[in-house]
Structure 1
Amino acid sequence: MKIVHQEQAIHIVGIELRTTNQEAFETIPRHWQRFGEEGVLARIPGKLSDEVYAVYTNFENAGRNNEGLYSLIIGARVPPGSPLPKGLAPAVAPAGPRAVFPVEKGRVDLVGAAWQAIWARHDLKKTYLADYERYGADGTIDIFIGIAREPLPA
């Protein structure tokens, strides 16, 4: 894990799923399948790259925890103010400090385990506003967690 300061808000457009942690292992894989089958990445005008973002946002208990309903929006980064194509939803990951957790390159099968390890950590003051996974075209995978400040000392 490393701490970075995301200088600007990141704007994403993609398909939206409302789910809970209790349903996630069933609903999220189907959502990813839909993303691929519908060719969503190709339908996003003005995308800044072919990187795929999976943004967890619109938490029922925003600012407190990730219990209850939340949205998962899978899509691409776009410039602020980009048009919103029919059937797609926007997400914004605000600027600020983030804890970044790399996942082994090309190992999407390890993302779920990485999230479980992140949830088990108590040294981070998570913001529960917008966390995201970034999938690089080169196979890199990083999970970005919004935090209120530097980690607490061990």
Structure 2
Amino acid sequence: MSITSVVNAQNEHQGSSIHELEGFKIIGISARIQNTDGKAVEAIEALWTKFWSEELMKKVPNKLSSDIYALYTDYESDFTGAYTFIIGMQVSAFDQVPEGFVTLEVGQDRYQEFVSKGKMPEAIVKTWTEIWADTTLQRTYHVDFTVHGEEYYMGDQAKVNTFISIKR
């Protein structure tokens, strides 16, 4: 996926911009998340723990970079319903998928980008809280994702980009 945008227009959201992104392929691990009774946070944390503790990034074949993606897809309704959560990496092909891993091909779409800066995961949680509270955001609930690149590891100066699929 190229983050280079066809459309890159600043909008009413502080620090956010709109991008038309090309499609890309992901290989990773997944869980179906129920967004009720605080179970979403527990399930997401458990998947991240598995990803890091088992060093699953080393098992992803055909990686295009070291960036880690967290993707939200197959929404039952909206952010209050069930969805599939995937942690993985962008790849060039699906010809070698390790056992226990899933694939996701993300199609071209329009996204609103939000930038989380500061200590993680607190900065990402703050960004998501703002996204959920924004009643003007015209979400499509196709695929939303965060990109955890090199700047993710910069402590209190960390940075993560969040992309929310929006109407054209």
**How would you bin the TM-score normalised by the shorter chain?**
0.7 to 0.9
Match of 1:121 in 2: 134
Query: Shift of residue 80 of structure 1?
Result: 4.3
Structure 2: which amino acid aligns with 1:48?
L
Residues 12 and 78, structure 1, Cα contact 8 Å, conserved in 2: yes
Structure 1: which amino acid aligns with 2:30?
E
Match of 2:54 in 1: 38
Cα RMSD, aligned residues only? 1.5
CA distance, structure 2, for counterparts of residue 92 and residue 143 of structure 1: 18
Is the aligned partner of 1:147 residue 2:166? yes
Q: Which shows bigger deviation, 75-84 or 40-49?
A: 75-84
Distance 1:134 1:106, change over 3 A: farther
| 3-state secondary structure, aligned to 1:33 | helix
Is the aligned partner of 1:16 residue 2:30? yes
Query: Shift of residue 38 of structure 1?
Result: 1.0
Q: Greater RCO between the two (CA within 8 Å, min separation 6)?
A: 1
After superposing on structure 2, the runs of 4+ consecutive aligned residues of structure 1 that deviate more than 4 Å are none
Alignment of 1:88-107 (within 5 A): 88-105=101-118, 107=120
CA distance, structure 2, for counterparts of residue 73 and residue 109 of structure 1: 20
Q: TM-score w.r.t. structure 1 length?
A: 0.87
Structure 1: which amino acid aligns with 2:109?
G
Residues 74 and 143, structure 2, Cα contact 8 Å, conserved in 1: yes
1:89-147 CA-to-partner distances (Å, cap 9, x unmatched) read 11233212100000005532221221111011122210101100100123231100000
Q: 1:69 aligns with which of 64, 82, 103?
A: 82
% identity of equivalent residues: 30
Q: Which runs of 5+ in 2 are unaligned?
A: 1-15, 153-158
Structure 2: which amino acid aligns with 1:77?
Q
CA distance, structure 2, for counterparts of residue 79 and residue 106 of structure 1: 31
Q: 1:58 aligns with which of 74, 81, 103?
A: 74
Aligned length in residues: 145
Match of 2:146 in 1: 133
CA distance, structure 2, for counterparts of residue 72 and residue 84 of structure 1: 18
Residues 27 and 103, structure 2, Cα contact 8 Å, conserved in 1: yes
